[in-house]
Amino acid sequence: MTAQRRVVAEVLDGEHVHLTADEVHARAAAKLPEISRATVYNTLGELVSLGEVLEVATDRRAKRYDPNAHRPHHHLVCAGCGSIRDVHPAGNPLADLPDSERFGFTVSDVEVTYRGLCPNCAAKA
């Protein structure tokens, strides 16, 4: 556990945010100015493979890192500004996929992404 890893973990701690690697780097650098982008990427990658943080890739923009790995949830994404909210829809989409639609795959996970415009972007449009 180095100082660099600690500040990255601190940045992601607590609130349900969905930060890009650059945003994590900016916030980490506020506490530890000499931290490099490479280290932020390395540390985020480790947290992801430990299952502590989820990667959310909603489009061709930067991936977002989600510390809310404990409770399963899905995402509502604004097509305008890219902002993300956690959502907990009813229903179980895994159960909605019949065997006849699985083609012999071992289906382990399902990801549901709602898209639309946030109030802010809807007002501008």
What CA–CA distance (Å, rounded) separates 125 from 123? 6
Cα distances from 112 to residues 6, 28, 41, in angstroms, run 31, 30, 25
* Ligand-binding site membership of 29 (annotated): no
Class of residue 84 by CB neighbours under 10 A (exposed 0-12, middle 13-18, buried 19+): buried
Angle between helices 21-31 and 3-12 (to 10 degrees): 120
Part of the chain binding a copy of itself (CB under 8 A), chosen from 1-9, 30-38, 44-52, 53-61:
53-61
Distances (CA, A) of 60 to 47, 63, 65, 79: 22, 8, 15, 12
Is residue 76 near Zn ion by the rule CB under 5 A?
A: no
Q: Report the residue from 3, 30, 81, 87 that binds Zn ion according to the rule CB under 5 A.
A: 81
Interface segment toward Zn ion; rule CB under 5 A; list 18-26, 69-77, 79-87, 104-112: 79-87
Task: Confirm or deny that 112 is annotated as ligand binding.
Answer: no
Pick from DNA, Mn ion, a copy of itself, none: which does 66 bind, CB < 5 to 8 A by kind? Mn ion
Residues at the interface with Mn ion (CB under 5 A)? 66, 68, 86
Residues at the interface with a copy of itself (CB under 8 A)? 57, 59-60, 63, 76, 78-79, 85, 87-91, 93-94, 96-98, 101-119, 122
Residues at the interface with DNA (CB under 7 A)? 2-5, 20-22, 34-39, 41-43, 45, 57, 60-63
